[in-house]
Structure 1
Amino acid sequence: MSEARLLPAATVLLLRDGAGGLEVFMVQRHYQIDFAGGALVFPGGKVDARDYAPDLRPRLAPAPALRDDLIPFAIAAIRESFEECGILLARPAGSDALVDAERLTAIEARWREPLAKGSIGILDVVAAEDLTLALDRLTHYSHWVTPGFMPKRFDTHFFLAVAPADQLALHDGGETVDSIWIRPDDAIAEAIAGKRSVIFPTRMNLSVLTRDGDAAGAVARAAGKPPVRVEPWIEDREDGQFLVIGAEAGYDRTAAPISELK
């Protein structure tokens, strides 16, 4: 049996500094979605063919830290954060400031639904609104590839972004049915206690966030350590089957029960 084709995907970890320390925005996927249904995840999704459009290039803020092959993934991360939670990392052309809450309300009312339905691409939005996508607000965080034995496989790049203070993050009510700002260690604790479903890659990326007390520290850590490609494999052990990842990725553990991938 041949392996399933890898689908390019992007995920964004929106960060803020809360009263109790660093918080990350997470959404709960609809239970009827075939991959990670009901799980608590970061906003994200597949890279759309229109995210590669050459005409988008003049609409992108310079981001020297991002490799050229990562640009479509970064565009997808910004698009998905707008579709799934209403956060738009974009600036009015010629401005140094991100779109403010008042302008965002008008943009959202006009464009969020058709963009989420796929009837338009992100270029349609930025061209009509004369915007520049703030790729410079993204920091490449991790790179995970779904194992070859899975029926649906993703080649996913994760990015960090500090959430704009005056934009309200909220789930879309379609693919996602709930949302929460949560401390990374609290999300892990709730997963261990069985209160929430958190799949293995999500839990591993949360574990790295627990090492920093604020958003600036998390971004600085990510910027200083280029991600390692992580593709888990299965090992049969005396106490069952385990997912295993390489130690070079720098996570706090290298194995977990196979159930954590589901």
Structure 2
Amino acid sequence: MTEAKPPVPVRPAATVLLARDGAEGIEVFMVVRHREIEFAGGALVFPGGRVEEDDRRLGGPDPLDGYRIAGIRETFEECGVLLARPKGSAALVDATRLLGIEALHRVRVAKGEQPLSAMLAEEELEPAIDGMVHFAHWITPASRSKRFDTQFFLAAAPPDQVAVHDGHESEDSVWIRPLQACQEANEGRRRLVFPTRKNLEKLARYATVAEALAACRQARVVTVTPEMVQTEAGWRLSIPAEADYGGSVFDVLDAPAI
């Protein structure tokens, strides 16, 4: 009798919904994952990645702070937006200062040659973790060959910083209205993965970034681990209703991430 294989260990990760107010409503910054990347290759996703030990050390007493730091680092690496402020200042780094910081540090941080903590210390900056509002928590099902324990955060995009994809992990980027991204995926023009789609739909409930941030600060985040379930209509994806995605059983509209 063959013994069942143990589940693949989960890797802690952070993802950032970087949002701004557009002419037709709230917009979110998304990148297209490079098609040669194994996990979610070619998919339209939010910036994010794994939590590193330096992120944990840099975080505060809140267990989520290490994830917040990872989100700040990944946002800087993937789209050149830095959610940090000069020490003692209430304002985030401005675009002029950011140009110099990016030229000196972005590639080095992205390649792991310099930890974020060293960059912040050298530039006399502190991470703006107070602006990283907990939005969602998803864990990849045990059946998958790669698994992530991902905390999602909502953050307002600094108005004078320019977001642009890195050209390595991501090959394209776009500011897009949440439901527009879903519609373009329905039309076959984009590729989404299930957690991204559901979080886009949740973000689309809000008319402005301020409204979204205020609502999410008050909301309870419920952990989601999707499961395939057999229904009378066929196989569907099941998640907890209390996670507040407008239901508990959903059609499988998107291909798996891997």
Indicate the TM-score class for this superposition, using the shorter chain for normalisation: over 0.9
Instruction: Tell me, in whole angstroms, the C-alpha distance in 2 between the residues paired with 1:201 and 1:252.
Output: 13
1:19 pairs, out of 7, 17, 23, with 23
Say whether 1:160 aligns with 2:154. Answer: yes
More displaced stretch, 242-251 vs 107-116 = 242-251
Say whether 1:114 aligns with 2:108. Answer: yes
The 3 A distance-change label for structure 1 pair 258 and 2 is farther
Deviation at 1:193, TM superposition (A): 1.2
Deviation at 1:260, TM superposition (A): 3.9
Q: How does 1:2-81 map to 2 (within 5 A)?
A: 2-53=6-57, 56=58, 68-81=62-75
Instruction: Tell me, in whole angstroms, the C-alpha distance in 2 between the residues paired with 1:111 and 1:170.
Output: 16
Deviation at 1:253, TM superposition (A): 3.8
Which segments of 5 or more consecutive residues in structure 2 lack a partner in the other structure? none
The question of whether the paired residues in 2 share the 8 Å contact of 1:207 and 1:252 is answered with no
- Find the residue that maps to 1:69 and give its secondary structure: coil
More displaced stretch, 173-182 vs 88-97 = 88-97
Residue in 1 that maps onto 2:205: 211
The question of whether the paired residues in 2 share the 8 Å contact of 1:16 and 1:23 is answered with yes
Give the residue type in structure 2 aligned to 1:4. V
The question of whether the paired residues in 2 share the 8 Å contact of 1:242 and 1:258 is answered with no
The 3 A distance-change label for structure 1 pair 258 and 195 is closer
So what's the TM-score if we normalise by structure 1? 0.93
Instruction: Tell me, in whole angstroms, the C-alpha distance in 2 between the residues paired with 1:50 and 1:211.
Output: 35
Instruction: Tell me, in whole angstroms, the C-alpha distance in 2 between the residues paired with 1:260 and 1:230.
Output: 18
Instruction: Tell me, in whole angstroms, the C-alpha distance in 2 between the residues paired with 1:81 and 1:252.
Output: 28
The question of whether the paired residues in 2 share the 8 Å contact of 1:89 and 1:99 is answered with yes
The root-mean-square deviation of aligned C-alpha atoms, in Å, is 1.4
More displaced stretch, 41-50 vs 67-76 = 67-76
Q: How does 1:115-154 map to 2 (within 5 A)?
A: 115-154=109-148
Question: What CA deviation, in whole Å up to 9, does each residue of 1:152-199 have, x standing for no partner?
Answer: 000000000000000000000000000000001101111111110011
Residue in 2 that maps onto 1:64: none
- Find the residue that maps to 2:63 and give its secondary structure: helix
Instruction: Tell me, in whole angstroms, the C-alpha distance in 2 between the residues paired with 1:257 and 1:136.
Output: 35
So what's the TM-score if we normalise by structure 2? 0.94
Instruction: Tell me, in whole angstroms, the C-alpha distance in 2 between the residues paired with 1:51 and 1:248.
Output: 30
Deviation at 1:239, TM superposition (A): 4.4
1:199 pairs, out of 178, 193, 196, with 193
- Find the residue that maps to 1:107 and give its secondary structure: helix
Say whether 1:220 aligns with 2:210. Answer: no
The question of whether the paired residues in 2 share the 8 Å contact of 1:115 and 1:121 is answered with yes
Which segments of 5 or more consecutive residues in structure 1 lack a partner in the other structure? 61-66
Residue in 1 that maps onto 2:251: 256
Say whether 1:246 aligns with 2:245. Answer: no
Sequence identity percentage: 51
Say whether 1:87 aligns with 2:84. Answer: no
- Find the residue that maps to 2:207 and give its secondary structure: coil
Give the residue type in structure 2 aligned to 1:161. A
The question of whether the paired residues in 2 share the 8 Å contact of 1:115 and 1:122 is answered with yes
Instruction: Tell me, in whole angstroms, the C-alpha distance in 2 between the residues paired with 1:172 and 1:85.
Output: 6
Instruction: Tell me, in whole angstroms, the C-alpha distance in 1 between the residues paired with 2:45 and 2:254.
Output: 16
- Find the residue that maps to 1:179 and give its secondary structure: strand
Question: What CA deviation, in whole Å up to 9, does each residue of 1:131-172 have, x standing for no partner?
Answer: 011101110000000000000000000000000000000000
